[in-house]
Structure 1
Amino acid sequence: MQKKADISVMGCGWLGLPLAEGLARSGRRVNGSTTSEQKLDMLAQAGIRPFLINLSDPELNEQTLVEFLQTDVLVLNIPPKLRADGGESYLQQMALLHRALLASPVSRVLFVSSTSVYPELNRIVTEEDTSFTDDLDPDNVLLKAERLFQNSDSWVCSVVRFGGLVGGNRQPGRFLAGKRDLPNGDAPVNMIHLEDCLNILERIISQEKWGQIYNACADEHPTRREFYEAAATALDLEVPNFKDMEETHFKLISSQKLKDDLAYVFTHPNPMAFF
């Protein structure tokens, strides 16, 4: 078996690939997983040891997963696909991975999550506000997955809950362009740029900030109307139309804990400057 890696990045997509590339450039031994056979050469050329792993594949090669998990740190970056079955298959995949981790040398897990774990409380929201999720959305799939990896005596887990992901090939002007009668135009957006995502993950790893939960969103929170109209205009697309509403439902995510603990200053603090 090949020498143990320093870090394994599960899910080398929009976020995981540039993260793994940056970690490899810094001199770390990095394993990277993908569900696409076409990506294997690209990972190898970037100095990443490539693994073809699809946790939903009933013919998954368990030995491949064992070798991928020969590492000190696992970055778990697999966003759930909730539309098909409400997230049931995702939780099954996470349970499979959890069982494999128990037999691995992994001692630290960095779980990439989302601010979708929070309900709309119409106020500033902090990391402790998942207590309301337990009451209002007890079947929240992401929160169940987070806790699966947090509640372990075999490793220590940190969770990063990112806001809306923007940057690279994710152009927000395309998200709502031309749509009509959209709700909550006056609600604040909670966005984060790819560059800040990468900086934050790398800083958690380098500063050994384990056993923590962090929200991660840009400092500024323009309204949905302001943000998506400007984003569409920047791409010369039809601006979306928001209907007038007597009541706005929202959550305004605070990243203060992250900024304090990591001494972090956002590179892209204002989403209106993302495009």
Structure 2
Amino acid sequence: MKTIGILGCGWLGLHLSQYLLNKGYSIKGSTTSEAKLPELQAAGITPYLVNLQEVKEDQIHSFLTDVDVVILTIPPIRGEESDLYQQSFARLLPYLNQHGIQNVIMMSSVSVYAPQEHEVTEESSAYSNDPTSKQILAAEQVLLQTSELTTCILRLGGLFGPDRKPVRYIVNRGILENPELPVNMIHLRDILQFTAALLDQGFSANEVFNLVSPQYSNRLDYYTQEAEELGLTLPPLGQNDWTTFRKIAGTKIVKQTGLDYQKA
């Protein structure tokens, strides 16, 4: 089986590593925290200390040796208006080339899209002016415009899973804004199954996929279900700001993999 290098073993990267290990892949995982190395090792991941802001050549070369596919699960710095995030991806490129790595998967975000009246597909070119969203889109382009790479961009909805419950934030905040607007969420298990399917199938051309569960009709529907599951009471409903309307279509990945979104 292939060796997968997962750059950034945070919440998503760690879950993805464990899922792929169970499917028989060999996993190299990186962290910027030396204290986290034993945790990765205990999970069966071969751990490496890698910081793309301050690359140490011995570390990055060790990490990339014998890796077949690199998966980037490194989040941007929220609100940062400089090009640090984009630069970190660009800094990685020559090392990928040196190691002959041609396939990359990037965990991106549907936040790159601007609010718009029509359902948003991967063909949309209306992008957000939010600083964090612009960082993400610029990093995507670093990979997509590199001719030596074949890149698969997974634009994820809001993340939730068994140990990540955004409804708690809503309850603590004390108000549920935009209850009737679309909710663009993605369950951890769907990210895992679709990513594994892409690795199993392989990809020979640059691709962009939105990953958004079709299960929920709007924000109130999603948060009501989540609150009931946890025995929580939703706070009062706020106003709907229809200028922020953004409904993301996530059907392309279903056609590509032959899998469907799972019920949460």
Which one of 18, 22, 26 corresponds to residue 29 of structure 1?
26
The corresponding residue for 2:73 is: 77
116-125 vs 44-53, greater mean Cα deviation: 44-53
Following superposition, the deviation at residue 181 of structure 1 comes to: 5.3
Question: What displacement does 1:180 show?
Answer: 4.4
Please point out which of 7, 11, 14 is paired with 2:11: 14
* SS, match of residue 176 in structure 1: helix
Select the residue among 218, 222, 229 that pairs with 1:227.
222
Determine the C-alpha separation between the residues in 2 that align with 1:79 and 1:37.
18
Cα offset, 1:34, TM superposition: 1.3
Q: Does 1:99 align with 2:121?
A: no
In structure 1, the residue matched to 2:179 is 185
Is structure 2 residue 45 aligned with structure 1 residue 48? yes
Number of equivalences: 260
The aligned amino acid for 2:93 is H
2:119 to 117, 124, 127: 124
Out of 149, 167, 172, the position equivalent to 2:166 is: 172
SS of equivalent residue, structure 2 residue 86: helix
- 2:157 is the counterpart of 1:155: no
RMSD, matched Cα:
2.3
Q: Secondary structure at the match of 1:261?
A: helix
Q: TM-score, normalised by structure 2?
A: 0.88
- What displacement does 1:51 show? 0.2
User: What is the TM-score of this pair, normalised by structure 1?
Assistant: 0.85
Q: Hey, what's the Cα distance between the residues in 1 that align with 2:237 and 2:23?
A: 45
Counterpart in 2 of 1:205?
199
Deviation at residue 78 of structure 1 after TM alignment: 0.6
C-alpha contact (below 8 Å) 1:24/1:46 kept by paired residues: no
Q: CA offsets, 1:164-184, max 9 Å, x none?
A: 110032112212114345542
Helix, strand or coil at the partner of 1:33:
strand
* CA shift digits 1:112-150 (9 cap, x unpaired): 111111111122110011x1118x679811111111101
The structure-2 alpha-carbon separation of the partners of 1:181 and 1:44, relative to structure 1 and needing over 3 Å to count, comes to closer
Q: How much has 1:248 moved relative to structure 2?
A: 5.4
Give ranges in structure 1 of 5+ residues lacking alignment. 269-273
2:30/2:49 contact within 8 Å kept: yes
Question: Structure 2: 5+ residue runs without aligned partners?
Answer: none
How far is 1:230 from its partner? 4.1
Aligned residue number for residue 239 of structure 2: 244
Q: Which amino acid aligns with 2:48?
A: F
Distance 2:130 2:39 in 1: 40
How many Å apart are 1:201 and its aligned residue? 0.5
Identity of aligned residues (%): 34
Contact 2:150 2:203 in 1 (8 A): no
CA-to-aligned-CA distance 1:172-198 (integer Å, 9 cap, x gap): 221211434554221010111111110
Using a 3 Å threshold, how does the CA distance of structure 1 residues 263 and 91 change in structure 2: closer, same or farther?
same
Contact 1:221 1:252 in 2 (8 A): no
